[in-house]
Structure 1
Amino acid sequence: MKLSTTAKKPWTPRIHPSATLAQQHWLNRPGALTAGLRRLGHVELRVVREYAHRLDAQEAALISKPPGTLAWIREVAMSIDGVCCVIARSFTPLAASHGVWQGIRRLRSRPLADMLYNDAQIQRSEFLSCRLNRAMPLWRTVQHALCTHNTDSLPMPANLMARCSVFWRCGEPLLVAECFTPAFWTPGATLS
């Protein structure tokens, strides 16, 4: 399945030309990201926030819904051996979070992969990737996650690389966007 690309967006099927070989690998790595991270070390997942919110035009277009669609949003930070390496933002229409995708509300600190890769009815779209900018909701998720993770007031890193894909089940979308922090590229340099 393809992600909607009707509106002009920063997300593209082509990886940014500045990406290293390791970045290219991780931005297109199939399967559960958590499984790949576990090959690099001990993975811990921390839920940053879960809440209902209306999607902006960019995010709504990615799941083929109109702007302002009310969605259930889950934001998490994943650490490898205590180092915050990946920050993810997942969402589905609010009605789907009470129906087809109700499992998203019960995960607690378990990874989303626990419910995505054991169901033959689920189809995944192609990956899109981008370098984040301040106008993107995922950028704000990363900012919030890093601020709550660190007690020091550190500036936001530049050139954040991210990927997203949509999982479809019974016609309902669940988008998963994952941003790799600069700290990831040290352990993530190995291709797992």
Structure 2
Amino acid sequence: MQLHPPPNSDWHELPSPSFTHQQKHWLFRPGALTAGLRRLGSVQLRVSREFSEGLRPEEAWMLQVPTHTPIWVREIIMSVNGIDSVFARSFTPLPASHGLWQGMRRLRTRPLADMLYHDPQILRSPFFACRLREQAPLYHTARHILGPDCPPAQKTLARCSVFWRAGSPLLVAEGFLPEFWALAAKATYDQGLTKHSV
């Protein structure tokens, strides 16, 4: 299904020219993000909360359903080697959380990837990326999880994509904390040293 952000959206189909090569790589990296993080170190996932609410106006285009439609939301954070690195907000229409996407309610501390990458009938939209603003629902997720340790919105890059199963959407939005980029850079540097020493 074709998906395009509205003109007033913060999300963009192409990376900003201000993004570094490494940022572009992670923001538009295909496959499961969890698998990529595990190449950087030991990954731990913590579930912050799961709840139902009405679909926010700025997120309605993602599911292509009306604003205020009841949705089921899951908010988590993943750490790499004990350092909080990526937080995520995932949601689907409430009926789908009891139907086609009911597995979302049973994940506990397992990543969404466990249910998204083993079914050939599940299709994924292209990625969209942005620098967060304070009003963004995904930034509210970060503030709820991190409290006073939450970095300013403009220092947080994010990506999102929509998974479709039999016409039913599931949105996954992921924010990369500033500390993540240092981890990724060190891993790239270490891998470069390893290659040159072989």
Same fold (TM over 0.5): yes
Q: Which residue of 1 aligns with 2:151?
A: 156
Q: Which residue of 2 aligns with 1:184?
A: 180
In the TM superposition, what is the alpha-carbon distance from 1:49 to its structure 2 partner? 0.8
Q: Which residue of 2 aligns with 1:112?
A: 112
Q: Which residue of 1 aligns with 2:16?
A: 16
In the TM superposition, what is the alpha-carbon distance from 1:156 to its structure 2 partner? 2.7
Instruction: With the length of structure 1 as denominator, give the TM-score of the two structures.
Output: 0.93
Larger relative contact order, structure 1 or 2 (CA cutoff 8 Å, min sep 6): 1
Q: Quick one: distance in 2 between partners of 1:28 and 1:2?
A: 17
SS at match of 1:5: coil
CA contact (8 A) 2:50 2:73 kept: yes
Which consecutive unaligned segments of at least 5 residues does structure 2 have? 192-198
Q: Partner letter of residue 164 of structure 1?
A: C
Which consecutive unaligned segments of at least 5 residues does structure 1 have? 148-152
Q: Which residue of 2 aligns with 1:98?
A: 98
In the TM superposition, what is the alpha-carbon distance from 1:154 to its structure 2 partner? 3.5
- Work out which of the two has the higher radius of gyration on C-alpha atoms and give 1 or 2: 2
CA contact (8 A) 1:7 1:61 kept: no
Residues paired across the two proteins, number: 187
Structure 1, residues 145-183: CA drift from partner, whole Å, max 9, x if none? 112xxxxx3463332100000000010000000000001
Q: Quick one: distance in 1 between partners of 2:150 and 2:160?
A: 24
Q: Quick one: distance in 2 between partners of 1:131 and 1:107?
A: 28
Instruction: With the length of structure 2 as denominator, give the TM-score of the two structures.
Output: 0.90
- Counting aligned pairs with the same residue, the percent is 55
RMSD: 1.4
In the TM superposition, what is the alpha-carbon distance from 1:3 to its structure 2 partner? 2.4
Q: Partner letter of residue 111 of structure 1?
A: P
SS at match of 2:155: coil
In the superposition, relative to structure 1, how do residues 42 and 173 fare at CA in structure 2: closer, same or farther (>3 Å)? same
Q: Which residue of 1 aligns with 2:195?
A: none
SS at match of 1:19: coil
Does structure 1 residue 145 correspond to structure 2 residue 145?
yes
In the TM superposition, what is the alpha-carbon distance from 1:187 to its structure 2 partner? 1.4
In the TM superposition, what is the alpha-carbon distance from 1:7 to its structure 2 partner? 5.2
CA contact (8 A) 1:2 1:126 kept: no
CA contact (8 A) 1:42 1:80 kept: yes
